[in-house]
Structure 1
């Protein structure tokens, strides 16, 4: 129960920082899956040997120690994708949706914590398609649905209702596909997911659809699908 209460409080802090834009509580980083990301260490001292990075996720209870005293914990999963920058930032290669969550840097001098924690909340945008090519052949005339989701670990209702966060599907020219009756676009703020459903046409070969995320009308990140018709006529992810 205590862990659940801690997570609820954590969610309120994160939402408050996003809505008010306050600094010093949580810095938000938006990234697309498959990319590399740098999480800044905003309380670094002159020597990274004092730096500890910890991780909290809504998917699991408890805190995971990733870096301790400037040294990577190699007993943790995904440690191969983590590294410490020269400025004590935390670098993550080939980000996945499971990497989303709250990262905190702490500074310890002679065994005592020095200064406040610095927090970075990582939000990961990722896409999937149904049906997948492993289930059935995807070809002209078939209906496909693309799922674009922002994985943050909590509902984005507050952000959406305040017009702060916006997910959209656009074409190569950047035109919102909601304006084209060929596409059915549905959005769920409960799960921060937007879907695009359409029937593939012959001329869709090499056509690009892009899911983009904006916050306060500023583009944060995007991810794209490009249709490729080969001999097997499969939909390929770039």
Structure 2
């Protein structure tokens, strides 16, 4: 009997989410960078999280997935180990990926004897995930590299459109916070929301940082920093040459200090032995004559 009641509750939850739609949801926008942890607020929470249910949807024509049901985390979903329910009924997700973007809905269900009714309006959260990728996995000086910064959103938003109420924009800035640079070419696309930065790397670009920022209603919400790291030691060729030159000098100095005295000592010993040999030759001649 309890299983049937639970199935009826799930049916009511899905039907409610479909009938309510976006118009009946109090929307909150949350922006996060890929790889970080995020907290999604439940703005309609009651005094006890045992009434809280979290739903997730990423596609417009797909059914909502139940992540949390009446305060209990579902074990049969792919990311269950990264989910947790906060003390304030918020939904916590660890190590966010681009696949986690989408629409999250917090609902409250109360009742007795297996009969539940939804309480109040839904609390919706739109999770936007910012991600940066490179056109090359291995980079070096002289190589033309393109950095892609994309905002993953559902429903899909148009970046840079001043006529939309969301007013979401993407920017590339260098480590000094400057948005433009004569060396770099920046291009953007509103559908999908993506901005790219193309540059030809120089030696001095090693360890240089570029940051992609997303703004919502003219406020910076999150950013991703990309640091140029050379996989080949072309960036440090000059430093390698400079480091070899002092090493050669040290070797020469060590040879002069330690090897040269040894050579001089050997020359002295050889010269003395030669003198002794020359002084012994007349005596040997006299002895030879006497013996005859």
TM norm structure 1: 0.82
Selected match of 1:168 from 162, 166, 171: 171
Over the aligned positions, Cα root-mean-square deviation in angstroms equals 2.4
Gapped runs of 5+ residues in structure 1? 1-5, 15-22
Aligned to 2:283: none
Larger mean Cα displacement after TM superposition, 123-132 or 57-66: 57-66
Runs (4+) of structure 1 exceeding 3 A deviation are 230-234
Residues 19-63 of structure 1 show CA distances to partners (whole Å, capped at 9, x for unaligned) of xxxx96211101111111000011111111110000011276111
Aligned to 1:51: 52
CA distance in 2, matches of 1:112, 1:76: 25
Gapped runs of 5+ residues in structure 2? 1-16, 236-292
CA distance in 1, matches of 2:203, 2:160: 38
CA distance in 2, matches of 1:105, 1:90: 9
Matched ranges for 1:1-238 at <5 A: 13=22, 25-58=26-59, 61-110=62-111, 111-133=116-138, 138-157=139-158, 160-162=161-163, 164-176=167-179, 179-231=180-232
Report the count of equivalent residues. 212
Which structure has the larger Rg? 2
Are the structure 2 counterparts of residues 99 and 159 from structure 1 closer, same or farther at C-alpha, using a change threshold of 3 Å? same
Q: Which has the bigger relative contact order, CA under 8 A and spacing at least 6? A: 1
Contact 2:103 2:127 in 1 (8 A): yes
Tell me the CA shift for residue 131 of structure 1: 2.1
CA distance in 2, matches of 1:200, 1:65: 47
| 3-state SS of paired residue (2:212) | strand
CA distance in 2, matches of 1:120, 1:188: 25
TM norm structure 2: 0.67
Contact 1:155 1:189 in 2 (8 A): no
Are the structure 2 counterparts of residues 116 and 166 from structure 1 closer, same or farther at C-alpha, using a change threshold of 3 Å? same
Are the structure 2 counterparts of residues 201 and 87 from structure 1 closer, same or farther at C-alpha, using a change threshold of 3 Å? same
Are the structure 2 counterparts of residues 183 and 209 from structure 1 closer, same or farther at C-alpha, using a change threshold of 3 Å? same
